[in-house]
Structure 1
Amino acid sequence: MLWVDKYRPKTLDKVLVHEDIAQNLKKLVTEQDCPHLLFYGPSGSGKKTLIMALLRQIFGPGADKVKVENKAWRVDAGSRAIDVELTTVSSTHHVELNPSDAGFQDRYVVQEIIKEMAKNRPIDVKGRKGFKVLVLNEVDKLSREAQHSLRRTMEKYSASCRLILCCNSSSKVSEAIRSRCLNMRINAPTEGEIMKVLEFIGKKESLQLPPGFADRIAHQSNRSLRRAILLFETCRVQQYPFTSNQAIPPMDWEEYVSEIASSIFKEQSPKRLFEVRGKLYELLVNCIPPEIILKRLLYELLKKLDSELKHEISHWAAYYEHRLRLGQKAIFHLEAFVAKFMSIYKGFLIETFG
């Protein structure tokens, strides 16, 4: 088992990061009532860890007995019936799914599937009136129609069902949904908090950490706790005992993006653009989010650019990131950004060197 899963806190009492939020959540449970919750914050900040610890706090060990299913539903979409297939993680007490995986059919997922789950008779918990919990991931990626349907579901089935919503940015969640939830902002952990977790894992694994080693990993993690733990384990696999000057390897996909950036600088042509497109596809197929690919590619390109071009390239990166969020096919916008960069960079080379 990876350390990121092995040392994930099982209860709210054992949470090492965001202890104040964990205590507030614990207070909610002891008051025997849990409102709809919206957890939002950057990737790797610990949202899912807090959610799972909260579920264990409410339902006990039963929340751990989960099964993963790839379920297909036939839902009524006005004049026709459509088939929607989604992966769900469920226990007796909760169901977790990602409605945005259904793409433009997400509103049918919200209208029919969630409605069906919410209608199930709640299970009594410790003698008091129970409720089921629906955990919905990436609600910021839901369409406006789906968010509108979700608002109605929250109101109609609130007696028997609680919703825990999880997303990176609350600004893309409608005001109507936010106002019906207790909003929990989960900040990215500080480097000091990340070091504390790394030292805890090192102690549990009986590892000797040289001075400054945890600090370097924390610095390279970009304040993502998940990333920091993965880097720490990678270092352990590659070389132990640790040395104070030991290299901390980048992620495989980051090296791949760096190679893509180098190939773009070497040649700006339709043939090279076609090759880059295939590599971008490979990253997307391996579940690297398109926004992360674009951000990393910009970072690698800016490292090798003259200062006079940096502003213009950053402007176009922001433009295509916006288009990326509005559109459906990520590859179109990533490829368009690369094509735009090639055009600007080639023009700059011609102008500079003739």
Structure 2
Amino acid sequence: MSLWADKYRPTALARLDFHRDQAAQLRNLLVVSQPPRSPPAGAGRWEVELPSCDPRGPPAPSEGRGGWFSPQKGRLTVQCGDFPHLLVYGPSGAGKKTRIMCLLRELYGAGVEKLRIEHQTITAPSKKKIEISTIASNYHLEVNPSDAGNSDRVVIQELLKTVAQSQQLETSTQRDFKVVLLTEVDKLTKDAQHALRRTMEKYMATCRLILCCNSMSKIIAPIQSRCLAVRVPAPSIEDICHVLSSVCKKEGLTLPQDLARQLAEKSGRNLRKALLMCEACRVQQYPFTSDQDIPETDWEVYLRETANAIVSQQTPQRLLEVRGRLYELLTHCIPPEIIMKGLLTELLNNCDGQLKGEVAQMAAFYEHRLQLGSKAIYHLEAFVAKFMALYKKFMEDGLEDMIF
């Protein structure tokens, strides 16, 4: 029995429930047929709208991007079945992976959904062995290089080299290239990103890259300039309500509109989270009611209790207890950025209005240091200690004013 989020995931660009204009533009990148070996004539061109002031300039056919540039139209004419490197970015739960898999299905057919998990061992120059898990089909490879930590550069170089040097056996029925999907590329080290830039240039003829991330701000400019950037915005509240109602209808359930809106708002416009919450509500109670409780995840409740513990007492002993609770969250794979954001939200709800601006500024400072560092617990604990000192001083000053 599969989750609703997986069971009802669209498998074609034409079946997407929101951002359909963007899906149509993605579909224009390719037509499921064998790409021609020469420029298509006049009326037979497939074109993708791109800004005529693209700083990269017109691509040459020798670059392997499969296109011819028309200065008069300011358009890039793309061969059917071919596309450039893609950089797909947007918030979690917006549908980035769904759109990527739909694109691959239109390119390669249903075979792209026959996935297998592979465990590969890569030997670094220092003789250190790195184990990495990949998800692959006969046509594409999906990997998260940041799982290798500081050895992500070696993983990228070796995997892309292996994939790019393996030629397709039947080029008459298959594409001339395989696709490598790299997830969470915004978590790669700078060395790995520079290695990725060199590798994507070298193996362009036999390998296409699709990079997936939440934000482009941590990706170096040379990689951004070599990819066609596709931003996938978060779905609107109305879009999420429509999807929830549609899924419940397929399951034979009746979902009140008020409850659907509550789910959409509480999920933070994260469609995957909204579907999981809706399914949890179904397990908890059916028929649905507009005022029923929406179950929360355990880590969210745990984080709220941690914030309450910080506000209730400010002592070294309590700081040690909070440190242990933060460790507990990190060991259960809750991202430190999510912990910082959740702590800030709960602390702002519990502190005085005069402190909110300073607390938000503190959180921004330590979140920035969190991104630069490699040990998340240091920066999370520093933020908690700083808040405790600020909050205790504020409470003591307020008490003195009341006495005198």
- Whether 1:257 aligns to 2:258 is no
1:172 aligns to what SS in structure 2?
coil
- Whether 1:2 aligns to 2:3 is yes
Change (3 A) 1:2 1:249: same
Kindly indicate whether the alpha-carbon contact (under 8 Å) linking 1:63 and 1:92 is maintained by their aligned counterparts in 2.
Answer: yes
Which of 206, 231, 234 is residue 160 of structure 1 equivalent to? 206
- Whether 1:38 aligns to 2:87 is yes
1:255 aligns to what SS in structure 2?
helix
| Equivalent position of 1:12 in the other structure | 13
2:293 aligns to what SS in structure 1?
coil
Trace 1:185-264 onto structure 2 (pairs within 5 A).
185-264=231-310
Q: Distance in 2 between matches of 1:123 and 1:255?
A: 53
Q: Cα distance, 1:249 vs. partner?
A: 2.4
Greater CA drift, 181-190 or 267-276? 267-276
Kindly indicate whether the alpha-carbon contact (under 8 Å) linking 1:95 and 1:133 is maintained by their aligned counterparts in 2.
Answer: yes
Trace 1:1-354 onto structure 2 (pairs within 5 A).
1-30=2-31, 31-76=80-125, 80-122=126-168, 124=170, 127=173, 129-354=175-400
Q: Cα distance, 1:23 vs. partner?
A: 1.7
Q: Report the structure, 1 or 2, having the larger helix content.
A: 1
Aligned residue type for 2:111: G
Kindly indicate whether the alpha-carbon contact (under 8 Å) linking 2:366 and 2:383 is maintained by their aligned counterparts in 1.
Answer: yes
Q: Distance in 2 between matches of 1:5 and 1:210?
A: 23
Q: Cα distance, 1:66 vs. partner?
A: 1.1
Kindly indicate whether the alpha-carbon contact (under 8 Å) linking 1:273 and 1:339 is maintained by their aligned counterparts in 2.
Answer: yes
Change (3 A) 1:125 1:224: farther
Q: Cα distance, 1:22 vs. partner?
A: 1.7
Q: Distance in 1 between matches of 2:130 and 2:395?
A: 50
Kindly indicate whether the alpha-carbon contact (under 8 Å) linking 2:136 and 2:142 is maintained by their aligned counterparts in 1.
Answer: yes
Greater CA drift, 148-157 or 109-118? 109-118
Q: Distance in 2 between matches of 1:75 and 1:104?
A: 11
CA displacement 1:257-291 (0-9 Å, x = unmatched): 10001111121122211211221122122221110
Kindly indicate whether the alpha-carbon contact (under 8 Å) linking 2:281 and 2:294 is maintained by their aligned counterparts in 1.
Answer: yes
Kindly indicate whether the alpha-carbon contact (under 8 Å) linking 1:123 and 1:130 is maintained by their aligned counterparts in 2.
Answer: no
1:245 aligns to what SS in structure 2?
coil
1:23 aligns to what SS in structure 2?
helix
Kindly indicate whether the alpha-carbon contact (under 8 Å) linking 2:168 and 2:174 is maintained by their aligned counterparts in 1.
Answer: no
Q: Distance in 1 between matches of 2:172 and 2:317?
A: 65
Q: Distance in 1 between matches of 2:92 and 2:352?
A: 31
Q: Cα distance, 1:124 vs. partner?
A: 4.2
Q: Which has the larger radius of gyration?
A: 2
Percent identity reads 53
Q: Cα distance, 1:332 vs. partner?
A: 1.3
Q: Cα distance, 1:18 vs. partner?
A: 2.0
2:241 aligns to what SS in structure 1?
helix
Q: Which runs of 5+ in 1 are unaligned?
A: none
1:162 aligns to what SS in structure 2?
strand
Q: Which runs of 5+ in 2 are unaligned?
A: 32-79
Greater CA drift, 116-125 or 188-197? 116-125
Give the length in aligned residue pairs: 351
1:29 aligns to what SS in structure 2?
coil
Q: CA RMSD in A?
A: 1.4
CA displacement 1:132-151 (0-9 Å, x = unmatched): 11000111111221111111
Q: Cα distance, 1:128 vs. partner?
A: 5.3
Q: Distance in 2 between matches of 1:322 and 1:330?
A: 11
Aligned residue type for 2:26: L
Kindly indicate whether the alpha-carbon contact (under 8 Å) linking 1:124 and 1:131 is maintained by their aligned counterparts in 2.
Answer: no
Q: Cα distance, 1:55 vs. partner?
A: 1.4
2:384 aligns to what SS in structure 1?
helix
Q: Distance in 1 between matches of 2:91 and 2:350?
A: 28
Kindly indicate whether the alpha-carbon contact (under 8 Å) linking 1:59 and 1:125 is maintained by their aligned counterparts in 2.
Answer: no
2:388 aligns to what SS in structure 1?
helix
Kindly indicate whether the alpha-carbon contact (under 8 Å) linking 2:108 and 2:174 is maintained by their aligned counterparts in 1.
Answer: no
- The TM-score normalised by the length of structure 2 is 0.84
Kindly indicate whether the alpha-carbon contact (under 8 Å) linking 1:89 and 1:96 is maintained by their aligned counterparts in 2.
Answer: yes
Kindly indicate whether the alpha-carbon contact (under 8 Å) linking 1:124 and 1:130 is maintained by their aligned counterparts in 2.
Answer: no
Greater CA drift, 99-108 or 134-143? 99-108
Aligned residue type for 1:63: V
Change (3 A) 1:280 1:177: same
Kindly indicate whether the alpha-carbon contact (under 8 Å) linking 2:10 and 2:16 is maintained by their aligned counterparts in 1.
Answer: yes
